[in-house]
Each structure stands twice: as structure tokens, then as C-alpha cells.
Chain A
Amino acid sequence: MMFLAAALAAVTSFGSNPGALDMYEYVPAGLPSGRPLVVVLHGCTQTASAMEAAGWNALADQLGFAVVYPQQRSANQGLSCFTWYGPTDIARTGGEAESIVQMVDTEIATHGSDTHRVYVTGLSAGAAFTAVMLATYPDRFAAGSIMAGLPYKCATDLTSASSCQQMAAAAQKTPQQWGDLVRGAFAWSGAYPRVQIWQGTSDYTVAPANATELVKQWTDVWGTDQTADATDMISTATRTQFMAGSTVAVEVYSVTGMGHAIAIGADPDGVCPATTGAYFSDEKICSTTRAAAFFGLIEGTGLGSGTGTGSGSGSDTDPGSHDDAEGGGCNTGGDPGFLVLALVGGLARRWRHAAVVRARNSRGLLCRRAGRRR
């Protein structure tokens, strides 16, 4: 299957932009309002366009969502890293995190993106900043996928940032300590975003221990323990899931032998829209489609993190919340048969058709939100 690359469009006005970032977008032609939005964050020394190799644009064409690519300026950080260790930039207001949310707001205003279905992913420094966005704006992001990243607020200066990358014992924390850092970022009583983590076991730049610390942080935030509820092998990766009730709150892919990179390649469950490039490693598993499935963009697939019955109870404490309250019984393993339809056949269809399929299978979407409060 051929996936066509498309150029990004610069958006020059998107708010006060306190973090002084640049904004690029990819919006499929004719995209109606009410569609999801994915924010994609690049790594150090990269630009927004470097992340196009992940294939989010092709997936956006097929499934019908918009993509935003924030881009760091070297004037902010000499090596163009999102400043995941900068106290102002990792706060809810006044820095890069706020700039990125302003980009999200611009997409919502301009293209009518669904406020309940905003997701974020990134590589390396962009992954670390993915954790920043999930921590500082849990009310705005429904889920995130952290690819070779670090826990939120592991560092607040460059010196400690270097220590965090190696994540030696001195830098490690208890789950509650990590969780407290997230809870301290924003007073939030609603459900936190679901978190997917990708880590290479041979990553000598961001030590694999970071994935462990990320699990501590986000399972604690979700109020669950660090004991795996499900583990399976997919190609070269071990997938481990941590449940909060019936919801897959945290999911980790540990890719055997992979270095500091994004895992791509011919996934046993379907076609991968990613192309080769720097920091994209062929591991016979496709992080792009698996992140999309985790986000619920690919419905009812074996890639997804299906959830069971959720309570759906609670009051609406925040009208701006992304949460859906619906519960309902679901298949925790997904439906591999539908996956073939979605990824081999379904991706060849236009997203308008995918929307029809989604409506017919809305139970899958509802299940993913099970237990979330509205």
C-alpha cells in the first residue's frame, strides 16, 4: 500500500505564544468538524517535518483527523529541543506548554477539532514534552504516547536533565513522588489521560529505566499499582498493560534491541504508514498505528487497548473536560479480524467511510472512555 506524503502548512497566528514556538499543521482536505486532533512533537536538532516520517499525515487522510506539529526555535533552545526541563516551559502557563495548547485551541477554532479527542505524541525531547503536556493539561488531552521519553518534572535544569536521561538510582522516585509531581502541575479532579510508553532496551541515550519510572508516575496518577495486568509479545516488543478498573491506563512497549528511536515496520497486525528516516527504526512493529489505536482513532482493533465495563459515574466538574462517561462491556483483546479490515482494507478507504464504520462500532469508542468522568 502506498502512503503519500504531504507538505505541512505553517500557521503563523495562534495566540500569545509565550513559548515562542512555531506551528505547522496537516489537515486533510474536506475534514469536517468534530474530528480528532493529534499533536506530534519532534526531538532535538529536528524540525517538524522530520516527524512526518511517522506517517501521521497518511493516517489522518485515511481516518479523518488533523495533525499539529509544534516546532522549537533554536533561539529558545540552541539545539531545538522542547525545553522539558525548563520550569517556565513545563508549567501550565507562561511557556512552551501553553503555546502548544494555544495551537490546539487554534485547531479547534479553525477546524472544529473534537475537544474530547485531542492526543499528543513525540520522540525523545518531544516525548519528554508529551509527558509535560499530559501533566499540565490533563483536562485537554485524552491520551498520549511517549516514545523514548522521561517522566514529567524529572528535571528542572539542564544539569539534572542529563542525570534523568541515565535515570540512575539517585534520580528514581517512588510512584507517589512521581505522581505528586503530576498532581502538582494542575489541580485536576477528573480522569487523567491514558498513557502509552515506547522504549528501546538498547537505548543508551534515554535509559530504559525511564520507562519504569514513567509507569510509576502514571499508574500512581491513575491510582493503580505497578503490577502488570497483561503482558504479551508482539514482534520484538513486549507489551505490558496496567489497568485502572477496566481501563488500560498505562501501556508499555519495550522493544528488544532498539536504540533511541521510534519503532516502525511491518506490524504483524497491519500496514505501517511510517517511512524510514533518522530515528525511525525498523522493528517489525508500528508505533504509529499502535498509538493511533491506543488513542481510539482505529476502532475495535487488536492494536487497541480495549477496556471492559466502566462505571461511568461521577459529576461533571469541568465543562471543558475531554472525558466521556459512557461505560459498557468490551472485548479487552480487541478484534483482530476488524484490524485487518481497518488497516489493510479500511486504510485504503477514505476516512468518511471509516467514520461510518466507527459509528457502527461505537461501542469500542465508548469502552475506551469507560470509567472516565464527565
Chain B
Amino acid sequence: MTDAATASTSTTYHGTLDMSATVPFGGVTYCAYSITLRQIDVTVTMRPSGEVTGSMVQALNVEATVGSCPYPPAAPSIANYSLDSAKITPTGSMLQLAGAAANSPKVALTIDTSPNGSGLQANMSFQRTDQTGELMWTVKPTLLLAPTK
């Protein structure tokens, strides 16, 4: 099948979430911080069978200090992700997205997709990978994606 043919028969699903839950990190041997993902924007493109052919995600990382801390949080940063691989699950597919090289901090993103009416439910997991222990965090927002065409 050509790319053009794929495009013509594929459906793109889109959804946004203004703000994830705020997740604490640090706080024992480091200052206490929190991370909130803002302006999460997700697109997933699928063939009629449900096979995923593309996905893009953008999110704004917003850190904050919790309580008093002499060390400020990292400045807000935009993170971009694109589809690396997709695997079937018994209810849909699990997407693995690769973070752009410029992303900071480094975060692994998976999206577990399952049907929701005419759209998709996207259970996302952003997991920081460039830190361990108390500085690691995982944010798990859920979005509903609607077909755009």
C-alpha cells in the first residue's frame, strides 16, 4: 500500500488536556518539587483495522518547589514525542513514543489505547528516565481522543 493510499484510508484521532495531575518528587535528600504536565496535545493515526501508523505528542513540563527550597525548579520546557513502535494488546494497542533529542528532562512515553465510542481512550504514562530514586517521576494522564475526519 502506498503512503498516499494509507493516508486516504487512515483516521486521525486528536485530544488535548490542559493539565495533568500534579506529581511530587524529591523531598528527602533533595528539595521537594512537583511536576505538572500542561497543554498535553495528542494525535494518533490509524488504519481502518486499528493499526497505528503515526502518533505525535506535545506537553509542557512545569516544575514547582514544594515548601521552602534554595534551589529553584527547572524552567518550564516543551517536550515533543513521536511514534517509535506500536504493539497489540488484548484491548487495543500500546504505543511507545520516542522523545525529541532536545527534550529535557528525558522522559519515556507510552500510550495504551482502547476504543471509546467513536474515539479512543489514551492512558498515557510519562516516566522520567534521566533520574532515579526520589527524583524520578511518573505522570499518568488519561485523554479521550476524537476522530478528526
B114 at the interface (CB under 8 A from A): yes
* Overall SS of chain A's interface: loop
Could you tell me which residues of chain B, from 52 to 105, have a CB within 8 Å of some CB in chain A?
52, 86-94
Number of A-B pairs, beta carbon distance below 8 Å? 91
Proximity bits, A130-149, B CB within 8 Å = 1, else 0:
00000000000000000001
Contact of A44 with B52 in the complex, beta carbons under 8 Å: no
Contacts of A77 in B (CB 8 A): 115
Assess whether B49 is in contact with A46, with CB atoms less than 8 Å apart: yes
Interface: B42 (CB within 8 A): no
Tell me whether B51 is interfacial, beta carbon within 8 Å: yes
A295 at the interface (CB under 8 A from B): no
Does B116 have its Cβ within 8 Å of any Cβ on chain A? yes
State whether B50 touches A78 (Cβ < 8 A).
yes
CB 8 Å contact bits of A36-52 with B (1 = contact, 0 = none): 00000001111100000
Known: A47-B49, A74-B48, A78-B118. A84 touches B92 (CB 8 A): no
Q: Is the CB of B91 within 8 A of A80?
A: no
Inter-chain contact B88/A124, CB cutoff 8 Å: yes
B113 at the interface (CB under 8 A from A): yes
Instruction: Tell me the dominant secondary structure on chain B's binding face.
Output: strand
Given contacts A44-B88, A79-B92, contact A162 B112 (CB under 8 A): yes
A260 and B120 form a contact (CB under 8 A): no
CA distance A328 to B94 in the complex (A): 49
Instruction: Kindly report which residue of chain B lies nearest to residue A148, judged by CB atoms.
Output: B90
CB-defined contacts of A79 to chain B, threshold 8 Å: 46, 50, 91-93, 113-115, 120
Q: What is the CA–CA distance of A124 and B92 in the complex, to the nearest angstrom? A: 10
Q: Which residues of A contact B93 (CB under 8 A)?
A: 44-45, 79
CA distance A279 to B94 in the complex (A): 13
A150 to B48, CA, bound (A): 25
Q: CB distance B116 to A124 under 8 Å?
A: no
Contacts of B86 in A (CB 8 A): 45
- Find out whether the CB atom of B112 lies under 8 angstroms from the CB atom of A44: no
| A158 interface contact, C-beta 8 A | yes
Tell whether A128 is near chain B: CB-to-CB under 8 Å.
yes
Tell me the nearest residue of chain A to B93, going by C-beta. A45
Residues of B within 8 A of A124 (CB): 88-90
In the complex, chain B residues whose CB is within 8 Å of the CB of A250: none
Give Cα A206 to B91, complex, Å. Answer: 10
Q: Does A125 contact B (CB under 8 A)?
A: yes
- A85 interfacial by beta-carbon distance below 8 Å: yes
In the complex, A21 has a CB within 8 A of chain B? no
Query: Which chain B residues (103-149) contact chain A, with CB distance < 8 Å?
Result: 112-116, 118-121, 123
Q: Which one, B88, B115, B123, contacts A46 given CB within 8 A?
A: B88
CA distance A179 to B39 in the complex (A): 48
Measured between beta carbons, the chain A residues less than 8 angstroms from B47 are 45
What is the CB-to-nearest-CB distance from B94 to chain A, in angstroms, rounded to a whole number? 6
Whether a CB of chain B sits under 8 angstroms from the CB of A227 is: no
Nearest CB of chain A from residue B142's CB, rounded to whole Å: 11
Do the beta carbons of B115 and A260 come within 8 Å of each other? no
A125 with B113: in contact, given A45-B49, A74-B49, A80-B50 (CB under 8 Å)? Answer: no
B113 near A205: Cβ-Cβ < 8 Å: no
Q: How far is the CB of A74 from chain B (nearest CB, A)?
A: 5
Task: Return chain B residues, CB-CB under 8 Å to A74.
Answer: 48-50
How near does chain B come to A202, taking the closest CB pair, in angstroms? 13
Q: Whole-angstrom distance between the alpha carbons of A255 and B120 in the complex?
A: 32
User: Do residues B88 and A162 form an inter-chain contact, with CB atoms below 8 A?
Assistant: no
With A and B bound together, what is the CA distance between A77 and B119 in angstroms? 10
Instruction: Please give, as numbers and ranges, the residues of chain A lying within 8 Å of B118 by CB-CB distance.
Output: 78
Contact call B116/A44, Cβ cutoff below 8 A: no
Partner of B88, one of A149, A161, A260: A260
Are B90 and A206 neighbours in the complex by a CB distance under 8 Å? yes
Known contacts A79-B113, A80-B50, A162-B112; A45/B90 CB under 8 A: no
Interface residue ranges of A67-113 to B (CB < 8 Å)? 74, 77-81, 84-85
Q: Does the CB pair B91–A45 fall under 8 Å?
A: no
Instruction: Give complex CA distance A279, B52 in Å.
Output: 15
CB-CB under 8 A for A125 and B50, given A78-B118, A162-B112, A162-B114 = no
Chain B residues within an 8 Å CB radius of A161: 90-91, 114
- Which residues of A pack against B, CB within 8 Å? 43-47, 74, 77-81, 84-85, 124-125, 127-128, 149-150, 158, 161-162, 164-165, 205-206, 260, 279
What are 5 A-B pairs at a CB distance below 8 A?
A: A79-B46, A150-B90, A162-B123, A205-B89, A205-B94
Point out residues on B near A: beta carbons under 8 Å: 46-52, 86-94, 112-116, 118-121, 123
Query: Which 7 pairs of residues, A with B, have the shortest CB-CB distance?
Result: A78-B115, A79-B50, A45-B50, A79-B92, A80-B50, A125-B90, A44-B88
